Chains A and B, each alone.
Chain A
Amino acid sequence: MSSSIASSSSSSSSSSKKEKKISLKTSDGEVFEVEEPVAMQLEIVRSFFADNEDVTEQTVMPLPNVSTAAMHGILEYCRAHEEFRRRMPEAAPEEEVRAFEAGYVDRKSNEELKEMILAANYLNISKLLDFLTGVAAKRIENKSVEYVRAFFGVENDFTPEEEANLRREYEWAFEGVDED
């Protein structure tokens, strides 16, 4: 697969041309040039550059577990947070952060959300992982078992009798379930 250079334009207008970039290559071969402070939010990248003395600015770090689509989502989040940090280094503007985060996940399907969770886990961005697992929890709240199975992609391997017995055993847990 040919390596193409993905758009690396930062949402930040203050970023200068000389800003140091870090090259990250996704599973499908796309190379992202990412501003250093944004890339360093990815713990896996930070430790890669901290632990390897022979890496240079030209080093392209492969990220075989992250798809291009997930990478776009990850960077959108990290860039926004870098921008908040830059503007208000002391304390993040909480309301703005919340508004951004709400809009950010609203546009994502369940499948995209899970892909992002996997990526955030692999890249070790604990803040994003916490946020996304919270969103996933909200999405399965008050949902039926069938919905939860579909959400996580889990096959039901109980016999109907077993399932009926379990539902009886956990009767208390089945109040107030919404229609899917």
Chain B
Amino acid sequence: MKRRSLYSPSAKDKVSKTENDKLFGCCCVSRLPDDIVVNIFSRLTLIEAARTSVVSRRWRYLWTFTANLDFQAPDTIWKIGEEPNEIAIEKKRCMYINWVEKVLELHGGKYINEFRIHFDLGDDQKTNITRWIHTALAKGLETLELHLDLKVDSIQFPLFELPKLRHLTFDVNANNGDSLLDLTRMIKACPFLCKFTLKLISEDSKRKLRQFPNCRHEHLKVVEFIGFIGRPIDLELAFYLLENSPVLEKMIVNPTHPLLIGSYFEFEDVKEKQDARKRAKRLQKRVPQGALLVIL
């Protein structure tokens, strides 16, 4: 960062003018109207957008009108894996929670279209998370992504409807004996859901398939499983969605462990993945007409 531009207003002005000319080859810079500037902010992560509060007085709260709240944590909070003890981790958790609370409090826009949280928040934070979703919901939420550390049976929210939600993405940490069918309640609460993505971390458990309920999801077009193992735990939910989604276009089954996505090992063809793929073929029989089963 250029320290010189921070001090002495007159000198600074000169610097920024010449820098302007250097950067853009012109002294008459087009001004974009606020709504377009906010549109551009909406395509940045929150950290990026919030930095613009330092640009000028008038811009101080402009970023709070962004309709997309993507809570990718700053590195210092993010890297909890490097923390030696639980107290330090808990402190970072608090920082993250305070950050989300603060931004939601500052948010000045009428709409929140997208809301994404990514952090190591567990079941004990359900109350906070539910409240955040409520806040976003009141502003017309359409896309919700929860990349947290939640257990299947704790996903009892929402106890409310998400009437405008179109995209839902969820991370689930499943234990032996869990059933993802518990998630159907969440899906049911979103009558206009178009796309459902599930990232599953689960043990390879064997048990009998459970009965699944009937409930039609009239708008669901795309379902994506990441970390598919092809055991009753996820097969049940996949069968359920295939049978209850009359306009389904595509079900994508990706056997790669969610934590390996984007890593060097993402495309390594291990035996677990080959077996999961074989088991995923069982889904084929129930794929509704006009829909496609994609096994990666």
Given contacts A150-B20, A160-B7, A175-B74, contact A121 B36 (CB under 8 A): yes
Question: How distant is the Cα of A149 from the Cα of B59 in the complex, in angstroms?
Answer: 10
Within 8 Å of chain A (Cβ to Cβ): is B285? Answer: no
Given contacts A146-B19, A150-B23, A154-B59, contact A118 B30 (CB under 8 A): yes
Asked if B40 contacts A136 (CB within 8 A), the reply is yes
Within 8 Å of chain B (Cβ to Cβ): is A155? Answer: yes
Question: Separation in Å of the A156 CB from the closest CB of chain B?
Answer: 6
Question: How distant is the Cα of A177 from the Cα of B30 in the complex, in angstroms?
Answer: 25
Question: Separation in Å of the A171 CB from the closest CB of chain B?
Answer: 9
Asked if B1 contacts A177 (CB within 8 A), the reply is yes
Asked if B53 contacts A150 (CB within 8 A), the reply is no
**Contacting B31 at CB < 8 Å: which of A145, A153, A173?**
A153
In the complex, the chain B residue whose C-beta lies closest to that of A110 is B24
Kindly identify, within residues 143 to 202 of chain B, every residue whose CB is under 8 Å from any CB belonging to chain A.
none
Asked if A146 contacts B30 (CB within 8 A), the reply is no
Given contacts A144-B2, A163-B6, A172-B47, contact A155 B56 (CB under 8 A): yes
Question: Separation in Å of the B40 CB from the closest CB of chain A?
Answer: 5
Asked if A137 contacts B43 (CB within 8 A), the reply is yes
What range describes how many residues of A lie at the interface? 35 or more
Within 8 Å of chain A (Cβ to Cβ): is B80? Answer: no
Question: How distant is the Cα of A123 from the Cα of B58 in the complex, in angstroms?
Answer: 27
Q: Which B residues are within 8 Å of any A CB, using their own CB?
A: 1-2, 5-9, 12-13, 16, 19-20, 23-26, 29-33, 36-37, 39-41, 43-44, 47-48, 50-60, 74-77, 99
* Contact sample, A vs B, 9 pairs, CB 8 Å cutoff: A115-B30, A137-B41, A141-B48, A145-B1, A148-B55, A150-B16, A150-B23, A167-B54, A172-B47
Given contacts A170-B51, A170-B53, 19 further A-B pairs with CB under 8 A are A111-B25, A115-B30, A118-B32, A133-B36, A136-B40, A146-B1, A146-B2, A146-B5, A149-B55, A150-B29, A152-B55, A158-B54, A158-B57, A172-B76, A172-B77, A173-B53, A173-B74, A175-B47, A175-B75
